Structure formats: C-alpha cells, structure tokens
Amino acid sequence: MKTMEEAELCFPQLFNTSCKKPTQPHTEALLIYILLSSVSLITVFLNLLVIISISHFRQLHTPTNLLLLSLATSDLFVGFLLMPVEIIYIESCWFLGDLLCSLYYVLDYMISSAAVANMVLISVDRYVAICHPLSYPSKITQNRVKLCVCLCWMFSAIYSSLLLNDHLGQPGRSNSCYGECVVVINSTAGVVDLVITFLIPISVIIVLYSRVFVVALSQARAIRSHIATLTHRSGTVKAKKSERKAARTLGIVIVVFLICFCPYYYPILIGQETLIDASSAAFEIWLAHFSSCVNPIIYAFFYPWFRKSIKLIVTLKILQPHSRDAQILH
C-alpha cells in the first residue's frame, strides 16, 4: 500500500528523482479548468468561423483575406493543440517523455512566431492598400501573398528549431526531476527571441499603422474641406468618425499585442533567463496565447463580410447549392 508521500509523486517507483504532483485547492482548480477550457473553446470556434468563411466563399478569396486565413490557422492551432495540453497538465505530471516535451515547445514557438509574422504581413498589406492604393493591385497579388505565407511558416519552423536546438539535441536537460516538462531559454537566446518575435514586429506594426493613421487623417481632412456649406456639419461628423475609427483600430492592435506579450518577455528585459513549464500553466504563457482568441475579433469582426458569413454558416445556408458564390461583400 502506497504511503502518503509516495501517492504525491509522479513516479512513485523513482522515489528520489520523481517530481511531486501539482496540487491546488479543488475549488480553485475547478475554476481554472472552466476558465481556461472556455478560452480554448472560444479560440477554436472563432478561428474556425474565420477559416470556413474565407475558404468557402469565393468572393472572399482576396490577398488580404489569405493573410487573415493564415493568422486564423495559427490561432486555431494555439486553441486546439497548445491550450488543451496546458489545461491537462495543470494538476498532472508530464508523462509523454522528454522528447515530446521538447517537440511541444518547438511547436509552440513555431505557431506563436508564425502568428506574429502574419500580423506583420497584415500591417504591410493595410499600409500598401491605404497609402498606395493605385499600385496595390500590382504589388499585392494572390501569388505573392501565398509565397509570403509559405515563407512565414517555413522560417517560423526553422527559427523555433534553432532556438530550441539544445533541447532537441538533449531532451529534458532543464528538468529537475521526472514528470516535469521545462524549457529554459538562456539570456542570449532570450534576447534574440525578444528582438525577432517582439521588438522588430511591434516596431514595424507601430510604424506602418502610424503611417496609415496619418494618411487616413489627411484624407478625412481633404474630404471635409471639399464638403459643401449646406452639408458641412454632416461631413464633419463623418470625417471625425473616420478619424476615431482609424485611431481606435491602431490603438487596439498595439495595446493588445503589448498586453499579451510584455509579461512573457519581462524576464528577458531585466536580464533573466526564461523558464517555461508546461505543467504549471504560467500566467505569462496563457496571456500570450490569449492573443489568439482576440486576433479574430480585431482582424475579422471589424469586417462586415464576416458578420454576414457567420449568419450563413450558423444557419447552415452554406450547405445549399451555389452558396460559394454568395455576394458577401454587398
């Protein structure tokens, strides 16, 4: 019969080297399970709606929407693959072995970096569309976008493999006991990761969206200056609405990105190593993954076509003949 101390171990047969099972008060653990499971389900549901909408309706097969499709795919993987694993191991030990632990984190970094790269591509697309509208059709073609998306995923896979190369070559090197799944990113690799997946992307997004905001503002002022005297008041309202919308979108994009990723990169910013533990469901990891739940709201719910396509999907009208040719954009 097992003693109380043995019952608290992940591997009782390895008494001296086994980790202790994570324990939390039952009520607290139940609330965490419900909350995180809800986030995971919502993330999967929202991104599935985006994927089905863009894939099904021919009218939505545009370069911009291909980028949204790629972003939704990476966010779907977060909700469908990464979040469930972290939920399972909140009060459990890691029983899948050291190699799968390392591969899990390679997948995590690949999906996360691909999502960030997709956000940068979307900001470039919006910049060209608004600041250089006449040259947009020739510069941003579907073939070029498909190539950029493929390169984005390919480089994300290579980058994550190089970043965690030591852990792939020596799985479990950061584990202090059996039943643990821990990856430690040293300060040098952490700085590289900080620059590539945070500082450079957020700088590009801020610069491009700032330019978009300035152009939108100048366009609104130009429209306002050409409005007739009798419709001056109405035109001012429309222009101000356009300005507010541009400012709001810019603010949401930047603020959400910073809120979700700053806590994760905080140890690197103060010169510490980054420790990631799958069995602890760290707040920083979940907050970074939570952006996958918010992304479809920011990048898709702002589009009227998405609301129309949701109605057709929920009411199962997409199963009707010729539904692919529905006029979603009108």
Measured CA to CA, the distance from residue 190 to residue 79 in angstroms comes to 25
Average pLDDT over residues 182-195: 81
Measured CA to CA, the distance from residue 217 to residue 300 in angstroms comes to 23
pLDDT confidence of residue 130: 82
pLDDT confidence of residue 234: 47
Q: Is residue 90 part of a domain?
A: yes
What confidence tier does 247 reach under pLDDT thresholds 50, 70, 90?
low
Q: What is the CA radius of gyration of the chain?
A: 23
What confidence tier does 282 reach under pLDDT thresholds 50, 70, 90?
low
pLDDT confidence of residue 48: 94
**Backbone phi and psi for residue 30, each to the nearest 5 degrees, phi listed first:** -65, -45
pLDDT of 149 > 90? The answer is: yes
Q: Is residue 5 part of a domain?
A: no
Phi-psi region of 281 (alpha: psi -120 to 50; beta: other; left: phi over 0): left
Average pLDDT over residues 214-225: 72
pLDDT of 277 > 80? The answer is: no
pLDDT confidence of residue 168: 84
Q: Is residue 113 part of a domain?
A: yes
pLDDT of 144 > 90? The answer is: yes
More confident residue, 9 or 157: 157
Measured CA to CA, the distance from residue 247 to residue 226 in angstroms comes to 22
pLDDT of 145 > 90? The answer is: yes
What confidence tier does 239 reach under pLDDT thresholds 50, 70, 90?
very low
Instruction: For the chain, give the mean pLDDT.
Output: 80
**Residue 150 maps to which CATH number?**
1.20.1070.10
Q: Is residue 249 part of a domain?
A: yes
Average pLDDT over residues 172-177: 78
Q: Is residue 262 part of a domain?
A: yes
What confidence tier does 224 reach under pLDDT thresholds 50, 70, 90?
low
Measured CA to CA, the distance from residue 132 to residue 144 in angstroms comes to 17
- The single residue listed with the structure tokens 């653990």 is 29
The range of the structural domain enclosing residue 292 comes to: 31-325
Q: Is residue 271 part of a domain?
A: yes
Q: Is residue 3 part of a domain?
A: no
pLDDT of 153 > 90? The answer is: yes
**∠ Cα 22 23 25 (to 5°):** 155
pTM for the model stands at 0.84
pLDDT confidence of residue 1: 44
Specify the range with the lowest mean pLDDT, choosing from 189-203, 249-263, 299-313: 249-263
What confidence tier does 66 reach under pLDDT thresholds 50, 70, 90?
very high
More confident residue, 147 or 64: 147
Kindly report, residue by residue over 202-219, the tens digit of the pLDDT.
899 888 888 887 887 776
Count of H-run helices and E-run strands, the chain: 13, 2
Kindly report, residue by residue over 293-304, the tens digit of the pLDDT.
888 888 777 778
pLDDT confidence of residue 4: 44
Pick the most confident of 62-66, 83-87, 305-309. Answer: 62-66
Q: Where are the beta strands (DSSP E) in the chain?
A: 182-185, 274-277
**Backbone phi and psi for residue 159, each to the nearest 5 degrees, phi listed first:** -60, -45
Measured CA to CA, the distance from residue 156 to residue 64 in angstroms comes to 20
pLDDT confidence of residue 40: 92
Domains contained in the chain, number? 1
β-bridge mates for residue 81, sequence order: none
Q: Is residue 24 part of a domain?
A: no
